Chains A and B, each alone.
Chain A
């Protein structure tokens, strides 16, 4: 490891703090160096859409540019309204969402690294040093991410709102980061205590998917939001605002800068000050329990109930002729629902396919009555766009090596296995999305569009076949490694 990390050199200046806390600094530095080196070989979710080739260097550092880009959206909110509760509520809301989902999707591996257990905890290194390395590692990244995301907006704030606002924003941001880290960890602690590791992995998987969807949709919405520049919103406190963390962090601005001494503002400010501290303290207290529960990620005692899959049973009887085809149908159907890597690559485009038709209809400045008389329902074709991507993904599996059984078994017809997989895709992924959009569209545009919907549904089939032809799948589905091409 001949890597020199600037962050570690900066950390060297703070080593007295760690030594004071009884942490073995050289060992902690070694661990961090190893972790940072490994991170250079990892691709973050925010990038995963177009990770076409192996790139050198820390992908995370490069992804910071994207965070900076998304941060620019925040600038717009700095100028709206005079009420800080509303203005900063939105800014903190977006920041918390982006930072927390990124933390969950990209740094869960850091928080939940079970390899630490076998590799580090078996060595003559004390727990305090290992835990310190973990927290410093996480904090380093959160600082970089927050810096990239909020850096430009913060400068704009300094210019537009002055030094007081800027400093208060810096302090609140640090408080917010502490809160996010502690909250994420506490959520993990809760999940691990009540569910098994598999459930946690599933939840993380879905957060990753939601992050990818929201980034694309957020971009679409953000472009259109500029049409509402003249909106003038008056903030009224309601009791349930106590449960909205972004509002807490906005309250001190009202209190200190606007001298708004309403009871609600004071209460919210106190919450903003205290709750992150309480969360961090709780995290610190529950850390040993957390480490113990991490064992569950290696859990090998899950019993599981038999999963009846009545839908699969029905569809395979309707759509497949031979036993073998039915077997492939079922395999494809289950894998599409259970495989996390596949879901991470495909489900975001499903979510987008589901939302885009609506965004495109309602972004036109027409009244609802006008829309419902128009031909906006053609936008349902947008929902079919994901078919191409999904078909090309059917080749891959994170368990691609398991495909040996397909070769060893007395089945040589790749085409048949693909036709079963394509059918499963249409049923499992397209049908629910299509039905949902179609039903909502029929509600909007009246029953006159039912024939159109039927035609669109039928078009999906040849489109799937054409996508498959273009793909020229020569090997069995689910038999190639994800990274190879995508």
Chain B
């Protein structure tokens, strides 16, 4: 949208405050008429306090009716704040300022709280990342969706129920009448997100803001949810603002996209423009950082990063007929515990020096397998040899895997104490050596985990895992919680460390792209069994199992 256009809008506001903008003459007429949202110089700041910060810095953009606009950026780039600012749902202490936020003929700067509440829900709706916490756990989902109708429509109880069930059906929920009476915890993540979408769409809003709607979901479900959003967009003409850190998701369904960095829009344009010809450095970094099954540099992979899979012959760990069963809760006082097999009868070997990938959706048993190998689970059947393996693990959530009450130095020294390194001087020296190795300044030894960013914490976690010199490192979704640029750095670090220390990795991920980039061999897991094992290139070229094909088809390009 051109600068002149904005000036026109501003002119309109001056002439006609609060009302629908007057029609422009000439070439702007068509654009002006189907303009749904125009934001001019929007800023969100947290004034006062110790950390005064501007999280959204004078951004301007517009959206037409029926358009799908993507906003992409790293965490902390201000994309969620932009969405919340539009909805008028900012936290206390945050201050929104804008020259104008024109939505559907109204200037949101000037509407009363009452009017705003009516606009929310009726003409603007939002879905959030985490479908578990965005639904109230003590009400049935049917009741919650109906509430929207209670607030915004005048219908009888029966009509409301009918309409809710209809909305469920449209959101692709099977057995919608039955789901109506269920509680959020009885539904799967994908179903919950569909309920959220049904709730958002039930009043047929003009604008749907989706804030990372698929980040918490598995890749196959992600594809279905995105298809659903696109379908609703086409059928109802609902404009969509899709916020994501995942360029693949943005590319899949958006018409145009904004790239945000540190609260500013650094680049904007159509999907083709941004992806084929990015102008800004930052956009290029972002695009380069994305791992992809369509991108792996084979020369780099074979040369710098290691050797072909065939060269690994020595078996480091051998897993035979591994079954792990969890006991469920007792049904009633004297009822029997239901036993569920998280992993059932799997066999595989880990060869010395390789990176073995374990890919699958959440709940397929990959983390359980990892824990069994790490020795964190005792109650399994089958054999894992040798017994004296002492693998270390790096976990997904770097916030949880480092003790928040201890300094980085203490965290790194602790394993050495366990190993019996008596002299404190030696331990400190070793900790510093490891910090330097993972690319952190040695001063960080005195800091606490909360002072570090997610990527830095993951570096510390890697250092802590390495410090005792294990042969096998189990990486359980080590980069899933990280931004894409940081993710690339951590993957690089892992590759470098593996070469220097002759390590073997068991790399667990739900992200086929990451697996493809880093692994020598991949085991595909579903429902507690390994269905296919192959080199990544072979797997993609020639998937043998139905599930593998499904998984690959869901990967956004």
The answer to whether A binds B is: no
